[in-house]
Amino acid sequence: MSRIGIIGTDGLALDLLTVLDDTLGTHYPSLATQEREDVIVTDDPWQATAAGLKACAVDEWVATTTASDFFAITEGNGKARQALSEIVKSSAARPLAMIHPTTEVRGNKWQDMGAVIGQYSFFCDVESIGQHFMCGAFTIFGPGTRVGNFVTAGHRVVCEANVIVEDNVTIEQSAVIAAGTAGTPLRIGTGATIKAGTFVTADVPAGALVAAPRKEHES
């Protein structure tokens, strides 16, 4: 019997758990049919119990996993996700992509390494997606986009085309990254944060914080 460990208790994780059978049926047909046990891996078991699931501490999970187990990290903070991935790296379990069944991946089939993706997202000819990528619902990633490791994208984020999103970048809800060209892609530097609703039209340096100007309304 294989176990599936959902590490973290993010809202998106709980959404995806409700459709876990369909998610596995779409992307892991062999896993969907066999007997399995779903556990929430967290050091705060209250949340898991609230969702009616079996909880398991992180240390216990690392110690007891076997090669037939899978895990997905659903922690919204990129840095925390990276830290968790370092901890569970020593265990025998393999990363599992939790891609909502309504998400559409067209053209180039990128190799998913533990991606967690919400409903109705759209990936068209995306070149690559890094480790433990996490994104919300209704996101759109266009042709020629390359996404690094531990990248987080909120709901309704759009990366139009030919965008390079480097490691540990956070893009908040409704932000739009304009299209680059194939020769000169638009680059979002390592560790940068794009605040909600921002329209990014130029390269962003590493570690920068980009926000739309916030103004008071004249009534």
Name the residues that contact other proteins, by CB under 8 A: 104, 106-107, 120, 122, 124-125, 138, 140, 142-144, 156, 158, 160-162, 174, 176, 178-179, 197-199, 201, 212
CA distances to 9, 29, 43, 84 from 153, rounded to whole Å, are: 17, 27, 25, 18
Q: Please say which residue, 86 or 218, places its beta carbon nearer to other proteins.
A: 218
Q: Please say which residue, 81 or 156, places its beta carbon nearer to other proteins.
A: 156
* Residues with Cβ within 8 Å of residue 94, at least 6 apart in sequence: 67, 69, 70, 71
Q: Please say which residue, 39 or 194, places its beta carbon nearer to other proteins.
A: 194
Quick one: tokens of 121? 């997202």
CB of 106 to other proteins, least distance (A): 5
Q: Please say which residue, 39 or 135, places its beta carbon nearer to other proteins.
A: 135
Quick one: tokens of 111? 């190799």
CB of 195 to other proteins, least distance (A): 12
CB of 144 to other proteins, least distance (A): 8
* Residues with Cβ within 8 Å of residue 15, at least 6 apart in sequence: 100, 118, 119
Residue 49 CB neighbour total at 10 angstroms: 11
The SS3 of residue 85 is: helix
CB of 203 to other proteins, least distance (A): 13
Q: Please say which residue, 114 or 180, places its beta carbon nearer to other proteins.
A: 180
CB of 174 to other proteins, least distance (A): 6
Q: Please say which residue, 22 or 125, places its beta carbon nearer to other proteins.
A: 125
CA distances to 54, 72, 150, 157 from 17, rounded to whole Å, are: 12, 11, 21, 22
CB of 122 to other proteins, least distance (A): 5
DSSP structure class, residue 152: E
